[in-house]
Amino acid sequence: MKALKKLRDGYIIWHANSFKIPTFPASTQIRKRIIFSGKVQKVGFRLEVFHLAERLNLTGWVKNLEDGSVEGEFQGDASKIEFLVACMKSLKRASVRNVTALELPIYEGEKDFSVIK
């Protein structure tokens, strides 16, 4: 099983690195709590969010919820957060049926992005 997980994780990391990151115009720094629902667990969704968020220089976290959805808080340029959401909605191995977002106050001093287990 570990060999299969290693292969899957390698594919997910490759896929996250394959997204062409555009040049973003300057935009407002924001923080959003976003909940992705649908078939978003047991498909490498959090791992892909993590690698894409790091490439986009976003801070925050992502975690699974008991109801089968995935929740995250994302902080950075508004246009980069929108790009991340669009990328996650485009995944073939996941099926994002609904995205809910709530704007939050900026969390000063946050330096990285993490996956909460």
pLDDT digit string (tens) for 13-52?
Answer: 788 778 889 999 888 999 999 999 999 999 999 999 999 9
pLDDT band at 67 (very low <50, low <70, confident <90, very high): very high
17 is catalytic: no
46 is catalytic: yes
- Active-site hit among 64, 93, 97, 98: 64
Q: Is the dihedral angle over the CA atoms 50, 90, 100, 104 positive or is it negative?
A: positive
> Whole-angstrom distance between the N-terminal and C-terminal Cα of the chain?
19
Count the domains in the chain: 1
Query: What CA–CA distance (Å, rounded) separates 116 from 108?
Result: 20
Task: Supply the pLDDT for residue 15.
Answer: 80
Query: What CA–CA distance (Å, rounded) separates 8 from 18?
Result: 15
| pTM over the 0.85 mark | yes
The CATH number of the domain holding residue 71 is: 3.30.70.100
- Residue 66: domain span: 2-20+27-116
Q: What percent of the chain has pLDDT over 70?
A: 99
Q: Give the total residue count for the chain.
A: 117
Nearest residue to 103 via CA among 29, 8, 27: 29
- Active-site hit among 31, 46, 55, 93: 46
